[in-house]
Amino acid sequence: MASITKRSTVLADGRELIYFDDADTTLPPERKADERPLDPRPETATMRQDVLTGEWVSIAASRQNRAFLPPAELDPLAPASATNPSEIPDVYDVAVFENRSPSFGPLLAGPDAPNAPQGIDDLTTLGLGRTRTSVGRCEVVCFSPETHGSFSGLSTSRARTVIEAWADRTAALSALPGIEQVFPFENRGEAIGVTLHHPHGQIYAYPYVTPRTSTLLRSIESYGPTLFADLLDAERQGPRVILSGEHFTAFVPFAARWPVEVHLLPHRHVPDFAGLTDDERDELAVLYPRILRGLDALYDDPTPYIAAWHQAPVNVGRDTVRLMLQITSPRRAASKLKFLAGSEAAMGAWIGDLVPEDTAAFIREAVERA
């Protein structure tokens, strides 16, 4: 979308910072430089393989030093001021920058970095004591310069800018050497573990295909390539639809794990944000905030959630894995949360607290009310 402007620069320690200006922005094109005296970037983390599952765990000790619920006047994601030398040196609409305490990266030399992963075959080989450099990239996506709020409170124009940023970053990160999957997401609420009140999300670029997506690929292999198309057709004819537009439908899934769980799928096959048309992005900028406002209307105070944008891996499953939003919340009543105890946490065997059809009716009424 040509009217949304992208402006790229670098922070004082060399990390990339990208401004995305709204189509109707009132901001000037010039932005101040970052003049902070910053320490060198931390060394790239190391992954260790769990030989019992084949999964990789990134040991990122530098994350222990990240900000934890600072007061609004010291918000590290607000535009910098004389008393708050934040991560973003000037005013902005939407800003994306490399995380200062990343779980993956800095990317360094990609596959040429010391002990870097050497492709899927290398990462799926099992062995005791196997380690690899956590090649990848972690970015922070600031939805607004405001110190409090969430995606649900954005204007349609601002939501559209964030979607454009997700699409731009998905394409750019997918093109980096050694990247196998790109994952945009938002954590909202202290019950989820959020450490900053500022409205923001993150994007992880992984050096492997994540365990969740690997399981999905096996399901597609077993069921057939029409899995997502058949699933969407079945849900659109059922009782769990929350809302539907020309290009997207949102619904509570048949086998919902969480007390609040909403999925959203595009009506045509598209593997990731970068593949969405302008019309699809425009509709998403309206439907997605409506869903979130509905979740906030369920009770008297905002609902904590994780909004996870599942995308096809970079090199496999592009024709079968469809872009999908999964919103989950542990809130099972106004003052009760679901905690992952023995069966879920240890065995991955989920027990649902609510009937999905009842949950769908509850959320649908809240979306209409909101």
Q: Note the helical H segments in the chain.
A: 120-124, 156-174, 211-223, 227-236, 278-296, 347, 356-369
Q: Please, which residues have CB within 8 angstroms of residue 192's CB and are 6 or more apart in sequence? A: 304, 305, 306, 330
Rounded CA separation 135/105 (Å)? 5
Give, rounded to a whole angstrom, the gap between the first and last alpha carbons of the chain: 29
Q: Whose CA is closest to 289, among 105, 161, 123, 176?
A: 161
Q: Whose CA is closest to 286, among 188, 141, 157?
A: 157
3-state DSSP assignment of residue 127: coil
The C-alpha angle 58, 117, 129, rounded to 5 degrees, equals 60
Q: Known catalytic residues?
A: 200
Rounded to the nearest 10 degrees, the angle between the axes of helix 156-174 and helix 278-296 is 120
Q: Cα 217 vs. chain centroid, distance in angstroms?
A: 20
